[in-house]
Structure 1
Amino acid sequence: MKALILSGGHGTRLRPLTYSQQKQLIPVANKPVLFYAIEDVIEVGIREIGIIVGPNANMVREAVLREEWDAEIEFIHQGEPRGLAHAILVARDFLGDEDFVMYLGDNILREGIVGHKEHFEKGNYDASILLQEVPNPSQFGVVELSEDGKTIKRLVEKPKNPPSNLALVGIYFFKPVIHEAVRHIKPSWRNELEITDAIQWLIDHGYRVGWTKVTGWWKDTGKPEDLLDANRLILDDIETDIRIHTNARIHGRVVIGEGSEIDESTVIKGPVVIGRNVRIRNSYIGPYTSIGDNVVIENTEIEDSIILQDSEIRNAGRIVESLIGRGVKIINGTSHPLGRKLVVGDNSRIIL
């Protein structure tokens, strides 16, 4: 089995951050979202991975190749994104005639995909999809099951009147017959080749399409609030790993990277992840905060936030539920400390 991981698109819902970086490279708990997908497919024994890239192809390639992976990785340029089924067309040469899993690179799945792969293989399905119950099914691709709940009757992309609350998670297992399906479908009203239409083609032509339900949490990290939510969920599972000596007051589960300097007047209340070569002075770092490498924080309270690498935050009062890009400078002028919620793009400068 091979893997096809999608890391293209423009990430418009995450602007301004995605004006200068690929959305799948935004870190959650100090790890790019894309890396969670790569780890999941390697965990199930897949050793050939194709990554679909688009506007920021070089950025994705450089980030992935900086790490050592127990797999061969090939980058496949999609150009203008024209739907998930189009990605399969573009990757035809890489995929060959082997089974494969297609994994949207902005998804994070706590339980991984081991059990879902086993279901696909043991059931000898032509395709198998992951589903989860959601409160807002009209925002997703949705399935309608048979009366006994065993088989899929139809799939609908973002329906106004959803037939169920079972949404497609964004992870799919396919046999090579899917290549025939994607060649036969037409662009949707969005002018995209929809994967839901390709799977529906399989159903309509008598192929076996199975499904499994996600039992743990799943996050589609397409919006700032989704990234912050995923950050909370992942930080809930961390274990303490402090690689420096510090007299800071530390409570709860905290990870601190090598080379960081945190003074005795700082309080850290976990779960918190702090990267390497971070300097923190006279500050409070509250629960569910991730701080990237080479960040400077002074005289500031930060809680429930993601701070990307190389940023500088001084005398900024209290910052909550915020997503701060790379190389950002936030400096307080004369205002009194107030609670602030921010989504700040890379290399910005804010004087409060």
Structure 2
Amino acid sequence: MKALVLSGGKGTRLRPLTHTGAKQLVPVANKPILWYGIESIVAAGITDIGIIINPETGAEIQAKTGNGERFGANLTYILQAEPAGLAHAVKVAQPFLQDSPFVMYLGDNLIQDGLESFLQQFHDNGSDALIMLKSVANPTAFGVAKVSAEGQVMELIEKPQIPPSNLALVGVYVFAATIHEAIAQILPSARGELEITDAIQTLIEAGKRVDARQLSGWWLDTGKKDDLLEANRIILDDCSATAIKGDIDDQSQILGRVSIGTGSRILNCTIRGPVVIGQDCHLENCFIGPYSSIADRVKLVEADLEHSVVLADAQVVGVHQRIVDSLIGQRVHIREAPRRPKALRFMLGDDSQVELTP
């Protein structure tokens, strides 16, 4: 079995951050979102993985993620020249996939469940497709499945006004090679894309076996700022552990689960976990509150930060009011003028510079 990870989206919902970088490389708990999916695939025993990239961010993804050695996998990068839909991505990847069954994993999704039991169900049932579903409170915002009592998919409806269920499609699928024939039969949708839901519906109408399975754990789509912050919170809650590799002076206080990378210096700070701090950071006279992730080479001086994600090489200096619920891009500089509001909220793209004035 092979895998196909889609990492070609432009990340319009995370702009301005994604004007200068790939959304799949934005870190959650200091690890690129894309890597969580690759690790999950490898944990399920699949090591031959294709990565769909686009012309704008593909080189960055390839440089950061490498050839797969770090994951124990072999990565093949596949260029999708235009954003023409998920089914189009599969079509572009057909020379790589050939006749192999495969997992398709959207690179900005995170799921808690392992893939092993899903793959076992796919093999045991001899499915042509297996889709993953999660009950949601607002099914009109998603692709929704109508499922029989036996767990077979009867119909897929994209953003229905009257949903037949509250079961939304998660961005992880398993397909047999029959999906290629189905994709060859569909036409672009109203938005000009080849939709994977149309291809799956074609399988259903052809009498092929399309099964469904509900996730038992969480599912996170990290396409927007608040979703990404929530993903950061959940990952830190589930996965973080205390690991102090940097230097901490006697005036600092570390509470709860806190990870501090090699070469980082903590001077007169209070850090209340769960928090992860990368390598070669400098924190001085700071309070770092729970659910914060601070990437490598960040400088924080006289800063009060909570429930936020700070990307590499950013600086926050002399900001004496609390920064909360913020996503701060690479190389951003924030400094404060004399008069200050009570609270600050930011979403700043890479290379931004902010000066707060009265």
The normalised TM-score by structure 1 is 0.97
The range that moved more, 118-127 or 73-82, is: 118-127
Is the CA contact 1:282–1:299 (under 8 Å) kept in the aligned structure 2?
yes
The range that moved more, 74-83 or 115-124, is: 115-124
- Per-residue displacement from partner, 1:236-289 (whole Å, max 9, x unpaired)? 0211111123132011100100000001x2100000000000100001000000
Is the CA contact 1:187–1:194 (under 8 Å) kept in the aligned structure 2?
yes
Q: Distance in 2 between matches of 1:42 and 1:164?
A: 32
- Per-residue displacement from partner, 1:3-56 (whole Å, max 9, x unpaired)? 000000211100000100011010000000000010011111111100000121
Q: Does 1:351 align with 2:352?
A: no
SS at match of 1:144: strand
Match of 1:340?
A: 344
Q: Does 1:253 align with 2:257?
A: yes
Question: Match of 2:206, as an amino acid?
Answer: H
Is the CA contact 1:318–1:337 (under 8 Å) kept in the aligned structure 2?
no
Is the CA contact 2:17–2:348 (under 8 Å) kept in the aligned structure 1?
yes
Q: Does 1:109 align with 2:118?
A: no
Match of 2:10?
A: 10
Q: Does 1:295 align with 2:295?
A: no
Is the CA contact 1:11–1:222 (under 8 Å) kept in the aligned structure 2?
yes
Matches within 5 A, 1:180-259: 180-237=181-238, 238-246=240-248, 247=250, 248-259=252-263
Question: Match of 2:315, as an amino acid?
Answer: E
Count of residue correspondences: 350
Is the CA contact 1:3–1:46 (under 8 Å) kept in the aligned structure 2?
yes
Question: Match of 1:14, as an amino acid?
Answer: L
- Per-residue displacement from partner, 1:56-86 (whole Å, max 9, x unpaired)? 1101110111862211110000011111100
Match of 2:77?
A: 75
Match of 2:316?
A: 313
SS at match of 1:236: helix
Q: Distance in 1 between matches of 2:188 and 2:213?
A: 27
Match of 1:21?
A: 21
Q: Does 1:284 align with 2:295?
A: no
Match of 1:43?
A: 43
Match of 2:102?
A: 100
Q: Distance in 1 between matches of 2:285 and 2:151?
A: 58
Is the CA contact 2:151–2:213 (under 8 Å) kept in the aligned structure 1?
no
SS at match of 2:302: strand
- Per-residue displacement from partner, 1:300-319 (whole Å, max 9, x unpaired)? 10000000000000111210
Is the CA contact 1:235–1:288 (under 8 Å) kept in the aligned structure 2?
yes
The range that moved more, 312-321 or 302-311, is: 312-321
Q: Distance in 2 between matches of 1:322 and 1:276?
A: 21
Q: Distance in 2 between matches of 1:84 and 1:141?
A: 13
Match of 2:147?
A: 145
- Per-residue displacement from partner, 1:306-344 (whole Å, max 9, x unpaired)? 000000001112100000000000001112362111100
Question: Match of 1:231, as an amino acid?
Answer: N
Q: Distance in 1 between matches of 2:353 and 2:18?
A: 17
The range that moved more, 150-159 or 266-275, is: 150-159
Q: Distance in 1 between matches of 2:91 and 2:340?
A: 56
SS at match of 1:163: coil
SS at match of 1:40: helix
The normalised TM-score by structure 2 is 0.96
Q: Distance in 2 between matches of 1:149 and 1:349?
A: 56
Q: Distance in 1 between matches of 2:192 and 2:281?
A: 46
The Cα RMSD (Å) is 1.1
Match of 1:272?
A: 275
Q: Distance in 2 between matches of 1:293 and 1:233?
A: 21
The range that moved more, 245-254 or 5-14, is: 245-254
Match of 1:327?
A: 331
Q: Distance in 2 between matches of 1:244 and 1:44?
A: 34
Percent identity between the two aligned chains: 49
Structure 2 segments unaligned to the other structure (5+ residues): none
